[in-house]
Structure 1
């Protein structure tokens, strides 16, 4: 059973402003977190505060993150927690990696350690700085790790797992976002099957401008999902590959990239798994990807709502503090109730990810996590909306008391758009639930 002891609220690293911290870090017992999780949280907070959080807002204003941020995290092994649990123990130990930050043995790493890591990355409230670190290891590396040939893994994983090289996940195209099954980038075998010739474009590829490789969805067969494969395409100094940075709502911080492939020759040995299985491989990482989006959105919402709470507690109008007005308290309560409910759902889904084997988690959690991803985005939107009303003009000013709220207001779409559009995900959720229900009925379950 998990340790139910709580962290002392006088811990100097904790922010005691209401809604700023997850309940388990204060004085509310939880069945989910062990001493290992608590030690990991403290170590993560210390490391991430020093190297990321304390500088985040300045970097956002400057529109760039230092390139050595990735190197700092890589050298400390702090990109590894981006990976799904359990970690690839044999691979990491062959590389001389046995623990993280001196407090977490690789064998002990689970999805609550992942939750804590992601929460600490985004605790400063900003999407951009963490967005330079997470996508490659979290989304680009797992298909290679789980489905690549032994030769491909031996060749690429030592660099990718240590952060000496980087990959990105390249699925989305100008004409195919949530509709992954209809991608148009083609890969055709040439030169007697030694190479694939790749032609097409990928768009909105996070960290693509810095990546050495792109874990790329390509069409090797006919139309539809059965024609899709995964190919690892070298990006640097590769003839026919051109990349250009894209300006999104946070500028160019996350290295968002448009990639063109024009007669690009890629060794056939860079095929991940089997031809025609690409969409299946992509889908098996969606729970992991979307869970990270859920966590980051709720943590951003915490920052927004706690900022609004602190502001209303000191701001006076009409002879009293704003928080002494019932309508203000009502706004804080509505947003806070939605936030804590979504966090409770996130912990429950994290527990399920820990306790289901991978095939079962893929089968039964896809719809649940899809709904959670939509819900987390709406909670962030709600918290931002209430904070803007409560902070007034300060919330739209890029300096002063509301500057963080102003920045986060421009980042809401970075939760609601990636990982599948909301309408697609809600439809997916119901279709998944219907399939599960119909399967149980066939097995003799009662209505």
Structure 2
């Protein structure tokens, strides 16, 4: 490859025809002659800038990664005695945009986070930066994340970081060289936030949601033999698992499920019949943690996919990469040893992980919300209207102020609850945290609602366009409602939070 040259602006100005077209972007020179006909906006969109500096208009229309993508092919040199003024952000590094990171990574002090958490976040972000292009392709195609990628994430320890600290981490490699014994809920919180930060919600759920709620019933309630076989397979990405509770007839009201499991005459198996709906990762899962009704009541079973298990894709607001499924169990034969916990005690198994599931949803939605706010800050500084940057308009600053203040409030509440999880037994968490986590989830999703609304207004038409500058905003406004519904809807969370508080209400009067 020939070395890049330097040019004067007068020299560049001579290359202004259809057969010889150069442009300048931030002091760098690009030969776009052959690319003009390939430009999505048509050749004239580029040719009108022939021989000119297109920096301001370029950044009013494109993200910086567009420049990085095409620079290796189109860049021919730079302007002599000039240096680029726009800093190239490395997606693997922490953001320098105000409020683009939780406060600890913006230089503030924290009683919770340590260097271990910084190493972990940095390593995880680098992994996601490496696979980001594949994430976008998977999101857009609607295909399941590839088995090769899934196993890579398993080998890197990424999958294991999303189910919390515990003995199942022993012997596993974790990002950043974090030792399994030092891994805590703050590390896990970072894992959920970083996964959501990619900006591909369907893909993110495709690599994280199913096992993060489907595997805990196995390692908490499965037999020793089941745990020994299944847990390593899932954490290393060799097998996929999902949680199958919701049905067309029953959502939050779990007691109304109709899927049945009847014992065979010899008592060694159950025959399972029924349907499940909206099962994340269901289309490509090998294993299912399933709520059924036996003669003793609600029971949780571990079911392996076979010819009698059929899954059909359900189209939702986000990408089919999440594998959302309608699952049909048609005379599925399941060994009685696959009971998770005790027969008739399935409700306790289901409830055991609900606090954790709702907490991790809070982590994911705050991570996604923060990435949206970062995008808004960037765009407001980049985009000019009526001769001014958006950030110079008071109404835009007011929107940003509202967005930031709401997110920072729930982030601090989330960190406080995470600290309690690190320092409470499970029994104490069950008593003290069910209500606060429910209310936190309610507030996190309300914040997401308001942030999405303001972000769309800031981005205008781009905020409702699936590609280009507003991609992250469009994806968020289309999918943030998942967090408001899954794991317990906002209305139920609000009510649960207050009902839990009333249990502690003193027998006193004013």
User: TM-score, with normalisation over the residues of structure 2?
Assistant: 0.79
Deviations 1:405-427 (A, max 9, x none): 11221111221111011111111
Secondary structure at the residue paired with 1:430? helix
* Partners of 2:144 and 2:284 within 8 A in 1: no
1:10, distance to aligned residue in structure 2 (A) = 11
Deviations 1:70-117 (A, max 9, x none): 1111122221111122x21xx554xxx244135111111100010111
Deviations 1:38-84 (A, max 9, x none): 11111111112212x34433432233354122111112222111112
* Partners of 2:201 and 2:319 within 8 A in 1: no
Cα distance change on mapping 1:397 and 1:166 into 2, 3 Å:
closer
Secondary structure at the residue paired with 2:282? coil
Secondary structure at the residue paired with 2:355? helix
Secondary structure at the residue paired with 1:259? strand
| Match among 196, 204, 209 for residue 270 of structure 2 | 196
Matched with 1:286 is: 354
* Matched positions, count: 421
Structure 2 CA distance for aligned equivalents of residues 411 and 10 of structure 1: 26
* Partners of 2:119 and 2:176 within 8 A in 1: no
Structure 1 CA distance for aligned equivalents of residues 423 and 322 of structure 2: 33
Matched with 2:56 is: none
| Match among 80, 100, 103 for residue 177 of structure 2 | 103
* Partners of 1:125 and 1:299 within 8 A in 2: no
Structure 2 unaligned regions, length at least 5: 1-88
Structure 1 unaligned regions, length at least 5: 1-8
User: Bigger CA drift: 61-70 or 269-278?
Assistant: 61-70
Residue 95 (structure 2) pairs with residue 15 (structure 1) = yes
| Match among 49, 57, 61 for residue 136 of structure 2 | 57
Residue 97 (structure 2) pairs with residue 29 (structure 1) = no
Structure 1 CA distance for aligned equivalents of residues 91 and 318 of structure 2: 33
Matched with 1:409 is: 477
Structure 1 residue ranges (4+ consecutive) displaced by more than 4 angstroms after TM superposition: 9-12
Cα distance change on mapping 1:24 and 1:437 into 2, 3 Å:
same
Matched with 1:207 is: 281
| Match among 295, 299, 302 for residue 232 of structure 1 | 302
Matches within 5 A, 1:297-376: 297-376=365-444
Structure 2 CA distance for aligned equivalents of residues 187 and 40 of structure 1: 43
Structure 1 CA distance for aligned equivalents of residues 113 and 93 of structure 2: 18
Deviations 1:109-165 (A, max 9, x none): 100010111111111233222211212321111111011122332343332333322
Residue 324 (structure 2) pairs with residue 256 (structure 1) = yes
User: Bigger CA drift: 268-277 or 155-164?
Assistant: 155-164
CA RMSD, aligned part only? Answer: 2.1
Structure 2 CA distance for aligned equivalents of residues 303 and 158 of structure 1: 32
1:317, distance to aligned residue in structure 2 (A) = 2.0
* Partners of 2:92 and 2:126 within 8 A in 1: no
Higher RCO by CA contacts (8 Å cutoff, separation 6 or greater): 1
